[in-house]
Amino acid sequence: MKRNTLIRGRSGRLRIEGQRFRYEREDGQVAEGEFSIGREEPGCVSLLISGRSYHVSRGAPGEVIVNGWPVEAEVFDPRSIRSRQSGISSSGRQEISAPMPGKVVRILVAPGDSVEAGQGLVVVEAMKMQNEMKSLKAGRVVEVRTRPDAAVLAGEALVIVE
């Protein structure tokens, strides 16, 4: 299972296979290993990661409580546009990702450009349709991770807006 994350305004990718996980933050830091999970009560779980125990429960929208401390966190399926857009906060770096496999047709911005919420950033062609990936917030383009004619996968980061 693959999921994208937004934790304390930083994006990342989580991959779970059986009892193993791999988590990679946008800055390249990686954590991986084995885990186990147990249900404590409705809305609460106990995680055991590398010998450390974590009590995790729901907090306010966009937040979880880990061992009694609130943490701004969202986890969403990279293939779901609706989930991806609901996981956006007004602060921090945001990854604009391809919603499905396709080919980059045009890049509409460059690093350093200022963008507004809803502004087109990159055009991806998938299943003979062109889809314009738009900025989900106002900010500045800090990185373009693709190029014209590149093949992209679902959930692959195309542009980073800060």
User: Quick check: helix, strand or coil at residue 108?
Assistant: coil
Q: Are 12 and 23 in contact (CB under 8 A)?
A: yes
Give residue limits of the domains in the chain: 2-76, 92-161
Strands (E), the chain: 2-7, 10-17, 20-25, 30-41, 44-49, 52-58, 63-66, 69-76, 94-97, 102-107, 114-115, 120-126, 129-134, 139-144, 151-152, 157-161
Give the pLDDT of residue 129.
Answer: 82
Q: What's the pLDDT tens digit per position in 38-92?
A: 887 777 889 898 889 999 888 777 788 889 998 888 787 766 644 444 444 555 7
Same fold, 2-76 and 92-161: no
Of 2.40.50.100, 3.90.1150.10, 3.40.50.200, 3.40.50.300, which CATH number belongs to 92-161? 2.40.50.100
Quick one: pLDDT at residue 83? 44
Q: Identify the CATH assignment for 2-76 out of 3.30.43.10, 3.40.190.10, 1.10.10.60, 3.30.700.30.
A: 3.30.700.30
The whole-chain average pLDDT of the chain stands at: 83
Return the pLDDT at 110: 95
In residues, how long is the chain? 162
Region 110-120: what's the mean pLDDT?
Answer: 91
- Residue 40 one-letter amino acid: E
